[in-house]
Amino acid sequence: MQTFLVTGGAGYVGSHLVAALAERGARVTVLDNLSTGHRHAVPAGIKLVQADLSDSAAVEAVFAANPYDAVFHFAALSQVGESMRMPMRYLLDNAANGIRLIDACVRHGVGRFVLSSTAALFNQAGDAPIPETAPIDPQSAYGDSKWMIERALRWGGQVHGLRTACLRYFNAAGADPAGRLGEDHRPESHLIPLVIDAALGRRPALEVFGDDYPTADGTCVRDYVHVSDLATAHLLAVRRLDQGSVTWNLGNGAGHSVRQVITSVERISGLTVPYRIVPRRPGDAAVLVAASERAQAAGWQPVHGNLDDVVSTAFAWRKVHPNGYGD
């Protein structure tokens, strides 16, 4: 039986991976400070250690308790806008704590490390899908904090033989098709749950930031990848590390505009989404779509590639859990 440590395993993407690992019979320890994660997102029978990565004694105790076959690292602050108001907080919480975690892996002989990274590393103009070889130019402290971890992992591999997977995903979306897990951010910042809540009357009219972009309908286009497909990519990546380190961009390879998301929610729910156009936000790119050929060549194939499929799982979760894990 394999044993894994999942930091941030009570969060949105991390919890879906933990559930997938548990289904496969793995022994899992979740390390999460529950600042944005939820205790009820951790499946029954999974060990949850509530602690912060900055707590060196708690981290040492977690590593001393088990030899781990791999560490999956999700724990991080993740709001781009907030990171521009509090850059040092993000660099400390994400980069410094991530590097401490890598150091703990090296000292305790953990040979594999899978990082939840981000498309916020890129600053690419135009509408072409973004490959892993695109120039790295983070435009936020959040993106730069992830890039610092990626660079630390490179040194961990070069000097200590640590095999690493940097998974740069675009817009995680959707919910567990079985209805066990879903999205519950407080406050919510992701588009699809915001659109769903507007349709359900749980929030005021949705604000659409600009309708004058050089896209088919004037609104921003993003690549929405289902959270369960992301979990599958992590499972594949940790196996692939037997052959060496990898860096993958993860997306469906097809973008959808804000208006297309609104239309999809209306189609799935049978409700009307109230929205209003407001000025653009600084820094929003017109189009961000992933080129995921590397992951696909390794065997990854998104199952929930259709936007309506992504939206339907998110809507089903929100209908049953209007208050998220608070229900």
Average pLDDT over residues 57-75: 97
Is residue 183 included in any domain, yes or no?
A: no
* CA–CA distance, 114 with 135 (Å, rounded to integer): 22
From CA 30, how far away is CA 50, in angstroms rounded?
8
Same domain membership, residue 321 and residue 195:
yes
Residues 199 and 241 in one domain: no
Please compute the mean of the pLDDT values over residues 2-6 and round it to a whole number. 97
What pLDDT sits at residue 325?
Answer: 85
Same-domain check for residues 23 and 137: yes
Q: Are 90 and 114 in the same domain?
A: yes
- Given this model, what pLDDT does residue 22 score? 96
Q: Are both 13 and 158 inside the same structural domain?
A: yes
Residue 87 and residue 138 in contact, taking contact as beta carbons nearer than 8 Å: no
CA-based nearest residue to 221, from 213, 229, 230, 232: 213
For residues 171 and 224, is the Cβ–Cβ distance under 8 A? yes
Residue 187, CB half-sphere, CA atoms under 13 Å: how many? 7
* Same domain assignment for residues 89 and 161: yes
* Pairing of β 27-32 and β 47-50: parallel
Number of domains in the chain: 2
pLDDT for 327 equals: 65
Q: For residues 259 and 302, give the distance between their C-alpha atoms in angstroms, rounded to a whole number.
A: 23
Question: What pLDDT is attached to residue 291?
Answer: 94
DSSP three-state, residue 36: coil
- What are φ and ψ of residue 204, in 5° steps? -65, 175
Instruction: List, for residues 136-174, the tens digit of each pLDDT value.
Output: 999 889 999 999 999 999 999 999 999 999 999 989 999
Decide which of 120 and 268 is more confident: 268
Residue 243: DSSP 8-state: G
Contact 186, 259 (CB under 8 A): no
Q: Looking at the structure, do residues 237 and 315 belong to the same domain, yes or no?
A: no
What pLDDT does residue 200 have?
Answer: 95
Residue at 68 is within a domain = yes
Residues 181-194 pLDDT 10s:
999 988 888 999 99
142 is catalytic: yes
Q: Is residue 163 located within the same domain as residue 137?
A: yes
Same domain, 246 and 259: no
Examine the domain organization and report whether 241 and 262 are in the same domain. no
pLDDT tens for each residue of 238-275: 999 999 999 999 998 889 999 999 999 999 999 999 99
Structural domain including 122 reads 3-173+225-250
Residue 138 placed within a domain: yes
Task: Please name the residues in contact with 306: beta carbons below 8 A apart, sequence gap of 6 or more.
Answer: none
CATH of the domain at 243: 3.40.50.720
What value does the mean pLDDT take over residues 54-78? 96
Quickly list DSSP for 137-168.
Answer: ---SHHHHHHHHHHHHHHHHHHHH--EEEEEE
- Catalytic one of 12, 68, 142, 275: 142
- Give the tokens for residue 324: 């998220």
Task: Tell me the pLDDT band of 180, cut-offs 50, 70 and 90.
Answer: very high
CA distances from 278 to 75, 205, 211, 220 (A): 33, 11, 8, 13
Residues pairing with 169 in the sheet: 118, 250
Residues 125 and 54 in one domain: yes
Q: Do 265 and 155 fall into the same domain?
A: no
pLDDT above 90 for 286: no
